[in-house]
Amino acid sequence: MAFTAGVFTPTAIGASLISEMDLLTTSRMSEMKQEIIAGQAILQHQDPQILTQGFGESCINAKVFAMRSASLEAADTTLACAVATGPEAGSETLTLTKALLTKPQRFTIKDIQCKNEADFGTQKGYLGMKAKIGLEVALSQAMVALAATGLDVPIAADFETTGVVNGSVYEIQDQNLTSSVLADLEWVGKAKDLNDPIIINGRNFYNAQILEQYASTGCCTNDAILNKNQTFQVYWDAKNVDSILGSGSTLMVDKNSMIFWSQPAYSNLGMDTAMTLGKESGDRYHWVETLPRMQYFANGSMQPIYVDVRAERSCVKDSLGVSRDQWKFEYMLFGANTLNLENQDGNNGIYKVLKVANV
């Protein structure tokens, strides 16, 4: 079927899908290298049980079970004839409410193109993929920003590295910031019931990690041991940590300290459903796609992150002032991104270390 103005024909849809797949499998699109390590590390380290009924409706919420581990110490060793009452099953659930998660991404494509410009399918494929990558970066930053809202207050005595507690942050002068801090964080995790934490860095410790990869002997220094993921998982993200938390930031995040859930606003999957199931009033259409790189772990497996797409026909003036038709596109992420319930000590399981200038 030939292209028809104002209609997503099989030809246009196919060209768009082929363009996106080509960008995914080649290295021509430099935006595909944009770092999302911090957000992806947190999303893959969670594994809650999320119960959802339905798909793609505004009223759909969800409940989360399998909370963070709490202390196993017995509070009372007294026995009675009757069985004592403990926590009620399901009483510690977290209700997730669907909301817009990041700023939408938008672009336009004019119907009338110059002869040296790409066709509709190629442009939709490239700009659509770029919009999705923009959502991935924004979501990664949102995950880090959320962690900053749930910082637990560190205790200076838990650290052997000299520093001071400033609010909810443990500040260490530049001269004292060594890889031994990673061992301090591991100790804090064990002492505070963070049973499965990950470490997320911006610039901190990066040079030591890189240099140790080329050390002739990688067995006998603190950097060699602590920077090789032999004791816990350590990540570095150049774009989405220091830019959000401040230069010289390191986060420790426990498993399931943060809960993410993807749930689209619409229910029709694929651009091929836009003209039928996704038809709105006027000349507007919607459908659902997925992010190309980011996923999240829940219910024991990796889950897709859905992208709601809206398209609308509108009028635009060209360089000669002549009215032309164009497509306007809007890409959005819906779902929930929230801190989990606090543990038995009132802690979220998130700690921050900040490198500060020498005094």
Q: How confident is the model at residue 350 (pLDDT cuts 50, 70, 90)?
A: very high
DSSP secondary structure code for residue 75 in this structure: S
Q: Indicate if 246 and 179 belong to the same structural domain.
A: yes
Tell me, yes or no, whether 76 lies in a domain: no
Tell me, yes or no, whether 188 lies in a domain: yes
pTM of the model as a whole: 0.84
User: What is the per-residue pLDDT across 222-238, written as a single tens digit (0 to 9) for each?
Assistant: 666 566 555 568 888 98
Tell me, yes or no, whether 73 lies in a domain: no
- Span 201-213, average pLDDT: 70
Q: Indicate if 280 and 245 belong to the same structural domain.
A: no
Q: Indicate if 136 and 16 belong to the same structural domain.
A: yes
State the residue range of the domain holding 318.
Answer: 10-68+92-147+259-339
Q: Indicate if 271 and 308 belong to the same structural domain.
A: yes
User: What is the per-residue pLDDT across 254-281, written as a single tens digit (0 to 9) for each?
Assistant: 999 999 999 999 999 988 888 889 988 8
pLDDT at 1: 34
Tell me, yes or no, whether 84 lies in a domain: no
Confirm if 142 and 101 have CB atoms less than 8 A apart.
yes
Higher pLDDT, residue 142 or 71: 142
User: What is the per-residue pLDDT across 88-115, written as a single tens digit (0 to 9) for each?
Assistant: 655 567 888 899 999 999 998 887 765 5
Q: Indicate if 154 and 205 belong to the same structural domain.
A: yes
Instruction: Give the number of domains in the chain.
Output: 2
Q: Indicate if 61 and 114 belong to the same structural domain.
A: yes
Tell me, yes or no, whether 129 lies in a domain: yes
Task: Give, to the nearest 10 degrees, the angle between helix 37-45 and helix 120-148.
Answer: 70
| 6 φψ region: left (φ > 0), alpha (ψ -120 to 50), beta (else) | left
**Burial label, 287 (beta-carbon count in 10 A; 0-12, 13-18, 19+):** buried
**What tokens appear for 277 in the block?**
């199931």
| Percentage with pLDDT > 90 across the chain | 41
pLDDT at 331: 97
pLDDT at 211: 52
pLDDT at residue 206 tops 90: no
Higher pLDDT, residue 83 or 297: 297
Tell me, yes or no, whether 160 lies in a domain: yes
Q: Indicate if 275 and 216 belong to the same structural domain.
A: no
- Rg (the chain; Cα; Å): 25
Instruction: Say which range, 26-30, 50-54, 227-231, has the weakest mean pLDDT.
Output: 227-231
Q: Indicate if 28 and 143 belong to the same structural domain.
A: yes
User: What is the per-residue pLDDT across 303-327, written as a single tens digit (0 to 9) for each?
Assistant: 999 999 999 988 877 778 878 788 8
User: What is the per-residue pLDDT across 126-156, written as a single tens digit (0 to 9) for each?
Assistant: 899 999 999 999 999 999 999 999 999 999 9
Q: Indicate if 285 and 247 belong to the same structural domain.
A: no
Q: Indicate if 248 and 310 belong to the same structural domain.
A: no
Tell me, yes or no, whether 310 lies in a domain: yes
Tell me, yes or no, whether 4 lies in a domain: no
Q: Indicate if 17 and 160 belong to the same structural domain.
A: no
**What tokens appear for 68 in the block?**
């963070």
Q: Indicate if 230 and 273 belong to the same structural domain.
A: no
